[in-house]
Structure 1
Amino acid sequence: MKRTPATRGRRAVRVAVATAVAALPMAAVLTVGSAAPLAPPLGACTGTGCPATWPPPNNGDFTGRDASINVFTGGDYTVTGRAAEAEGKIVALGNLTVDKSQGGGAYNMGVVGVGSRVPPPNGSDFVTTGGSVDVRSGNRILIGGSDSKGQAFGNLRHAGSVSGTVNIDPTGRSIQDPNAAAPYRTVLTQIEEVSGCVGRATATGTVNVTNSEATFTGDGTSMKQVFNVTRNLASPSGGQIGLVFNNIPAGATVVVNMLGASPVINTYTGTALPGDQTTRMRSKLMWNFPTATSAEIRGSAQFQGSVMAGNPGGTTTIAQPGLDGRVYLAGNLIHTGTGGYEIHSYPFDGDLPDCKVSPSPSPSTSPSSSPSSSPSSSPSSSPSSSPSSSPSSSPSSSPSSSPSSSPTPSPTASSTSPSASPSNSGHPSSHHPTSHHPTGHPSSHHPGHGGELPSTGAGNAPVVFGLAGVGLLGLGGLVVLAARRRGRHS
């Protein structure tokens, strides 16, 4: 029988349909429980300059460029106390206010004196605000910087007015744009949805909190380790405690869900140095505050891991000498502290839990080890949501007090792990003069960091593939679109 064009066309349709039907079971298998990385511009490093290895905080030459957002606030961004720097690409949908009441001085943005030294690409928007920029008297914002080879320069894009002193390194510009925040509205929605989803994940491990230490014990097998915490990670008096992770598979994503209205983390754990446990975990460690009205991270550490908060009406206060990771908040940010406290740019390339396979939260904090199970049971340690709150009201938030604030009490009888007694090396000070401009030359040594630190040598994280979509395009049959994470990360 001779095949006409119409016959051949009908046969092509039948082949395409049969191919699609045969492929559907495979597509279903691939999507159930699939990896859920944060989509750009959040999460992993993007662009052409991502470093193969992310060094510990240092003041050397730039080691790469990162186009992803490092700090995002859906609300206002307020700098108080003596907070000094925020590295990487910064987006605030609300107002940006710098009011360093303790002596004033500079607040570096985009490029910092000591950090990962991976700024955004030259000529891009280093800082974007959907509101006004208000730099109070005696303060100033510095945007941009340099190393021994040249400058890193970028723009301040703002929807509202600018008042006070803002210094932008050439050839960066101040750009008034009423639609400055428009491209990032969907990012706010993404943070709300992801934080809420992750907050509903079923716990895979348990948390045992004593007077001096919180021990997170995983199941030893899952590549997504989830811990749900229903109390503060602090001592009964609100003081600092240690953080220890056990039975975590190499390369696993670790999520700590801080459940409750006013959770507090007060810790001395974290040095950012090679060999430190949380340094190894950093790129896959997420601290999630899905519903908090007020949340606080304070202590005397180089705190490792990224932070996410999903309540657009909430306020997160960061008062650690250093926070090494992404900061993604649906609500407001208060960056404060009694010294030159900093936020450093480091990527998050973990695979977060998928809501389809994580329908409900399961608190994992050990009841017998919790002096109080309610997050609101420590009223003196819950941060105020007002930007005017004094940083001195946070107990043990000064790095200078870290030796005395290290826990000395013996663990309670319910403790299942030995007490950690931190050495002084676990309390690196990141103080530097607040007028410091980030040149990156050896002469711009940052007191308290011990000079330029060696490379971690952590190597590259594995490239992760996920199924992005399945569909029929004309008569071509099933087309599977694979989404590959961009960039290389340690």
Structure 2
Amino acid sequence: MRISATAAAASAALGGALVLGLAAVPAAQATPAADTAGCTTDVFGIAGKYGEFVLGDNAHTPDAEGAVAVGGNADFRGGFSVANELTTAEVDALPGRASLVVRGELLNDDSVTAVMKGNAVVGGRVKDRALEMHSGTFGKNADLIDFDAEFRKLRSYSAALAKQPASAGTEVTPSGSKLTLEGGNTTRNVFKVTADQLEKAKDIYLKVPAGATAIVNVSGTTYDMAKAGTTGFFLSGGQDYVLDDKLQSASDGKVRARLLWNFPEATTVTKSSKAAWPGSVLAPKAHLDLGTGAPVNGSVWVASLRGSGGAETHHFPFTGCLPETGETPPPTPPPTTPSSTPTTPPPTTATPSTPATPSASDTPDTSTSTPAAPGTPAPADSTPPGKKDGDLASTGSSGTVPLVIGTVVVLAAGAGLVIAARRRSGRA
């Protein structure tokens, strides 16, 4: 039996639709949810390269072992040193190789501000005494880092991270003046606690497998260690608990390096002078008072900061595995044609949906790809698009429904054309 040209075209459309329909299923599973798979160790971008990343003013003495970036004014009038513990690779990764960045003024009251490694960039005046540069150069530039854009990202991520459910099997156990957090997941453990629970704990114990990430999401607008007189954080990677300090830590520091304290709602966080605080602190809306005694053994990302005496920040960068930021993938093209040639017009038998206009998230973020030299403005970062309900990652299934519907339409139209062609052939 001879098949007409119309029937042949319909058969081709039918075959193409079948191919598209088969391809739709694996596409929906291409991007796993963040809580089951994907993770990143560089979610904080530029901010993650600094041990102190502060949106507003930073009044601190005597030192920060890592890099310091200040979006407001820096008050180092008691004397301050920066970046002594950075490696060459860590310096090279900084914007403009600048281990000290101050967008506003730097006040030192004739005290020494020493930059041990890397460059220094200040936007405003350096009042009273020039910086003491040990291995880098000094430059004037108020735009090396877009602090406002970076903190929009940090606040958005902190809020989304707080919506992650507590990991299965994690336990938060108050017992008198002792609070124990325990999780057994070898990859990532998410804990949910209130500021009130932490404030009642004189001693805080955390136990996770060595090498696993621990995220402690803390709800509440204020947290003050002094309320309970917190004196110690004890960590375990599966062995005995170890009171954390600079020279001693559980599993050779593997636990504190992957420990994140997230305060999405807090406006003030106060560290007791008696307790060395292990892990990194994400409190992008909060003023952090470090007190006058013990250090933070990790990085801090806060709205403003004050600390003196032994209240240093020690260089133990965060290396944990966090949920990916969930950049929306480019939209899946609708089933306009079975042909692979993009210029072929779509079949008249089906009306495909209009392709979505790519959003800002489809454009790669190049803000950290090329470090800017001192004195050269860095590219401004665009504000990341909002994420529905605080989702951290896309499941990749958003394009599946229109694709399946389009496939059904093409199948039906193609079948109708085949039947009509055969009837005409029979009458002939």
TM-score bracket for the superposition, by shorter chain length: 0.5 to 0.7
Q: TM-score, normalised by structure 2?
A: 0.61
For residues 106-117 of structure 1, the aligned pairs below 5 Å read 106-111=79-84
In proportion to residue count, which structure has more helix? 2
Aligned to 1:258, what secondary structure does the other structure show?
strand
| Deviation of the 1:258 alpha carbon | 2.5
Which residue does 1:324 correspond to in 2?
297
| Deviation of the 1:308 alpha carbon | 0.4
Whether 2:211 is the aligned partner of 1:251: answer yes
Which residue does 1:88 correspond to in 2?
66
2: CA distance, partners of 1:194 / 1:277: 29
Aligned to 1:346, what secondary structure does the other structure show?
coil
Aligned to 2:131, what secondary structure does the other structure show?
strand
Whether 2:97 is the aligned partner of 1:124: answer yes
Residues 276-315 of structure 1: per-residue CA shift (max 9 Å, x gap): 369331121001111112111224344321110031xx31
Which residue does 1:186 correspond to in 2?
149
2: CA distance, partners of 1:476 / 1:169: 60
Q: Is the 8 A contact 1:209 1:233 kept in 2?
A: no
Q: Is the 8 A contact 1:271 1:301 kept in 2?
A: no
Compared with structure 1, are the counterparts of its residues 303 and 173 closer, same or farther at alpha carbon in structure 2 (3 Å cutoff)? same
Q: Is the 8 A contact 2:114 2:134 kept in 1?
A: no
Q: TM-score, normalised by structure 1?
A: 0.54
Q: Is the 8 A contact 1:107 1:141 kept in 2?
A: yes
1: CA distance, partners of 2:340 / 2:47: 37
Residues 409-431 of structure 1: per-residue CA shift (max 9 Å, x gap): xxxxxxxxxxxxxxxxxxxxxxx
Compared with structure 1, are the counterparts of its residues 229 and 267 closer, same or farther at alpha carbon in structure 2 (3 Å cutoff)? farther
Compared with structure 1, are the counterparts of its residues 220 and 18 closer, same or farther at alpha carbon in structure 2 (3 Å cutoff)? closer
Residue type of the partner of 1:286?
L
Whether 2:6 is the aligned partner of 1:35: answer no
Q: Is the 8 A contact 2:181 2:206 kept in 1?
A: yes
Residue type of the partner of 1:297?
K
CA RMSD of the aligned region, Å?
4.2
Residues 24-73 of structure 1: per-residue CA shift (max 9 Å, x gap): 122254567543434253587xxxxxxxxxxxxxxxxxxxxxxx222211
| Deviation of the 1:325 alpha carbon | 1.4
Residues 327-370 of structure 1: per-residue CA shift (max 9 Å, x gap): 112x1111224x4x321222222233579xxxxxxxxxxxxxxx
1:223 to 181, 185, 188: 188
Compared with structure 1, are the counterparts of its residues 301 and 263 closer, same or farther at alpha carbon in structure 2 (3 Å cutoff)? closer
1:213 to 173, 178, 202: 178
Aligned to 1:27, what secondary structure does the other structure show?
coil
1: CA distance, partners of 2:91 / 2:187: 34
Compared with structure 1, are the counterparts of its residues 343 and 302 closer, same or farther at alpha carbon in structure 2 (3 Å cutoff)? same
Which residue does 1:140 correspond to in 2?
112
Q: Is the 8 A contact 1:297 1:317 kept in 2?
A: yes
Compared with structure 1, are the counterparts of its residues 84 and 223 closer, same or farther at alpha carbon in structure 2 (3 Å cutoff)? same
Residues 170-194 of structure 1: per-residue CA shift (max 9 Å, x gap): 5523222232333x43321111111
Which residue does 1:267 correspond to in 2?
231
Q: Count the aligned residue pairs.
A: 314
Compared with structure 1, are the counterparts of its residues 90 and 475 closer, same or farther at alpha carbon in structure 2 (3 Å cutoff)? farther
Compared with structure 1, are the counterparts of its residues 134 and 278 closer, same or farther at alpha carbon in structure 2 (3 Å cutoff)? same
1: CA distance, partners of 2:190 / 2:257: 14
Aligned to 1:298, what secondary structure does the other structure show?
coil
| Deviation of the 1:471 alpha carbon | 6.0
1: CA distance, partners of 2:82 / 2:186: 40
1: CA distance, partners of 2:101 / 2:16: 50
Aligned to 2:262, what secondary structure does the other structure show?
strand
Q: Is the 8 A contact 2:249 2:256 kept in 1?
A: no
Which residue does 1:291 correspond to in 2?
265
1: CA distance, partners of 2:330 / 2:82: 41
Q: Is the 8 A contact 2:115 2:134 kept in 1?
A: no
Compared with structure 1, are the counterparts of its residues 475 and 272 closer, same or farther at alpha carbon in structure 2 (3 Å cutoff)? farther
1: CA distance, partners of 2:257 / 2:341: 40
Q: Is the 8 A contact 1:129 1:181 kept in 2?
A: no
Structure label with greater radius of gyration:
2
